[in-house]
Chains A and B, each alone.
Chain A
């Protein structure tokens, strides 16, 4: 069953150099109780996609240029703001990529989580704060009571990130959008947080959209994977297929860049170099004709430089390429 579906979504930003289409005709579904991973090169539109599900794109300069986002039968892009506010942070909640910019520096973290809880649940402040402390404990913050009285700047990067996670999970959302939720965390705490998220998922059927560049985390937690490049979905399949039989050259390059695959030279502290995808992402203001990956692709042929390939299904595996692996 689908909990949330993004249909042909396009988002534009007005800049002084022209209009940037950061997300261009993106579609995918997030089934109930499942985790969908969203991966892709920095700047390809992952956060913008996530923010638009929350309807948090700043407009202007942003602009919902097309498409729909369905959540439990309603199109979120047409929902009046007061209705949206009731969903946000309650039924749909988000862990933001940059914790420092989404925490208020002048309030203690206990206060901020408690406020968020009280806003959506009929609790008095004292019980809200108790629940906040409990949430801090769940995300592995030691001395949660003392820490609740801290201000954001007094915490380490990873602690701030866990505060954001505690806040997002406090109201037991039905759809969780997690934008790089564990990048600032060490692997033991990362494992603990992912386990907590999966546990809530099992208990309550929560759906998760997980944005991460850690392909290890993707392999361990996602059911489906969506790969984006320069505002487009370029490949989409279940997690096994993406890792075992990637089709799109960008996905193949991405998987090859993981340092884990490089035991031969690693650890020498010097000579060995990681495999990379040469070149730069195209300028969104000046996209090439044809496939957006052509300049960096070793398989590019003439058709690639003329008409952009469609996202084509082979069974449940979708990819946008004329010369797939």
Chain B
């Protein structure tokens, strides 16, 4: 469905270069959900936006359904864009405050000339509003009249409006309370089965990611640290960063004892990333080689890959 190869996205400014995405490769199969997790600022949203061509990548390749879309023109991109949608991280900033919810969803339909007749369009909008669990009268209300979680549902309705095949879900449930999180996650799963959708699911809540993902990719400072089937990765994390990440998950039980792997050392910056393995400045298992050579992403067993010298034979 989607293949990205050695994708890089560097933001250039007068003073410095931010290496937000620095050579990432993976593929997503049709109908599956690839979870993408990693430290805040490691490049997850940037990667998602590159895939949708909202950013022009610095280098690398993006293939969608056997077509290289990396350098397609706006015009050539148009029919494809409909199939690639995004649900944004920041629900408020992504909704036009002067438009009603009906118009926000309707606009997406209009751009792609779908449900042209007024009555069917109105019906489609109502259907979407109820699909995401908002009240019918929401159609004539404005974004500021909704709470944070309600706004996120509006964003989901908008993304679903054009019946896409692939959706980048950039923290779609972060702003929601757990009961609604659960509803939305179930909804995304139902829609996936019904409409054969494929997701790139970016989130910080590792329990949700585990729940929804077929496979999971762990990112650290612009690179993939590890990728593999979700269950295996949780039960037996390989990369030291993945281990630390999993140990930090807060547990909803006030009596539960915790044993958190504390990451010490300064958090590195994509402006001036460390040499060798980018995680070596904070890694509890650091070896001399780690500061010198960047470990490549190498296969470990049948369907897992990890970028760590601990697992390179020799």
Q: Identify the A interface with B (CB < 8 A).
A: 15, 17, 39-44, 47, 97-101, 140-143, 146-147, 149, 154-159, 161-162, 180, 183-191, 213-220, 239-240, 243-244, 253-255, 257-260, 262, 266-270, 272-277, 280, 283
Asked if B148 and A47 make an inter-chain contact with CB atoms under 8 angstroms apart, the answer reads: yes
Query: Chain B 152-184, CB within 8 Å of chain A: the 1/0 string?
Result: 000000000000000000010011111111110
- A242 to B, closest residue via Cβ: B254
How far, in angstroms, from A111 to B226 measured CA to CA in the complex?
38
Given contacts A98-B93, A276-B186, 16 further A-B contacts (CB under 8 A): A15-B145, A42-B147, A43-B147, A44-B147, A142-B268, A187-B248, A188-B263, A216-B251, A219-B256, A220-B250, A244-B254, A254-B178, A255-B252, A260-B251, A267-B210, A269-B215
Asked if A159 and B133 make an inter-chain contact with CB atoms under 8 angstroms apart, the answer reads: no
How far, in angstroms, from A240 to B89 measured CA to CA in the complex?
32
**Among candidates B89, B147, B215, B252, residue contacting A184 with C-beta atoms closer than 8 Å:** B89
How far, in angstroms, from A217 to B263 measured CA to CA in the complex?
19
Stretch at the interface among B52-60, B101-109, B199-207, B299-307: B199-207
| Complex interface: chain B residues within 8 A of A277 (CB) | 179
Q: Does B223 contact A (CB under 8 A)?
A: no
Asked if A157 and B245 make an inter-chain contact with CB atoms under 8 angstroms apart, the answer reads: no
**Among candidates A146, A185, A187, A216, residue contacting B252 with C-beta atoms closer than 8 Å:** A216
Asked if A243 and B178 make an inter-chain contact with CB atoms under 8 angstroms apart, the answer reads: no
Asked if B177 and A219 make an inter-chain contact with CB atoms under 8 angstroms apart, the answer reads: no
How many A-B residue pairs lie within 8 Å, measured between CB atoms?
207
> Chain B interface secondary structure, helix, strand, loop or mixed?
loop
Q: Tell me how far the C-beta of A261 lies from the nearest C-beta in chain B, rounded to whole angstroms.
A: 8
| Complex interface: chain B residues within 8 A of A189 (CB) | 39-40
Q: Does B313 contact A (CB under 8 A)?
A: no
- A48 to B, closest residue via Cβ: B147
Stretch at the interface among B1-9, B30-38, B78-86, B110-118: B30-38
Query: Chain B 248-276, CB within 8 Å of chain A: the 1/0 string?
Result: 11111111101010010011110110000
How far, in angstroms, from A276 to B178 measured CA to CA in the complex?
9
How many residues of B are in contact with the other chain, CB < 8 A? Answer: 77
| Complex interface: chain A residues within 8 A of B174 (CB) | 183-184
Of the A-B pairs whose beta carbons lie under 8 Å apart in the complex, a sample of 27, sorted by A's number, is: A15-B145, A42-B148, A42-B175, A42-B180, A100-B93, A140-B267, A143-B271, A146-B15, A147-B269, A149-B15, A156-B46, A159-B40, A180-B175, A184-B204, A190-B250, A214-B205, A216-B249, A217-B250, A218-B252, A219-B252, A220-B254, A254-B177, A269-B215, A270-B214, A274-B186, A283-B135, A283-B137
Asked if A43 and B150 make an inter-chain contact with CB atoms under 8 angstroms apart, the answer reads: yes
How far, in angstroms, from A273 to B54 measured CA to CA in the complex?
33
Asked if A142 and B263 make an inter-chain contact with CB atoms under 8 angstroms apart, the answer reads: no
Asked if A220 and B258 make an inter-chain contact with CB atoms under 8 angstroms apart, the answer reads: yes
| Complex interface: chain B residues within 8 A of A274 (CB) | 181-182, 185-186, 211
Q: Does B70 contact A (CB under 8 A)?
A: no
Q: Tell me how far the C-beta of A197 lies from the nearest C-beta in chain B, rounded to whole angstroms.
A: 14
**Among candidates B11, B146, B245, residue contacting A154 with C-beta atoms closer than 8 Å:** B11
Given A98-B90, A269-B33: A258 touches B147 (CB 8 Å cut-off)? no
**Among candidates B37, B137, B208, residue contacting A186 with C-beta atoms closer than 8 Å:** B37
| Complex interface: chain B residues within 8 A of A154 (CB) | 11, 13, 18
Q: Does B92 contact A (CB under 8 A)?
A: yes
Q: Tell me how far the C-beta of A160 lies from the nearest C-beta in chain B, rounded to whole angstroms.
A: 8
| Complex interface: chain A residues within 8 A of B133 (CB) | 280
Asked if A42 and B40 make an inter-chain contact with CB atoms under 8 angstroms apart, the answer reads: no
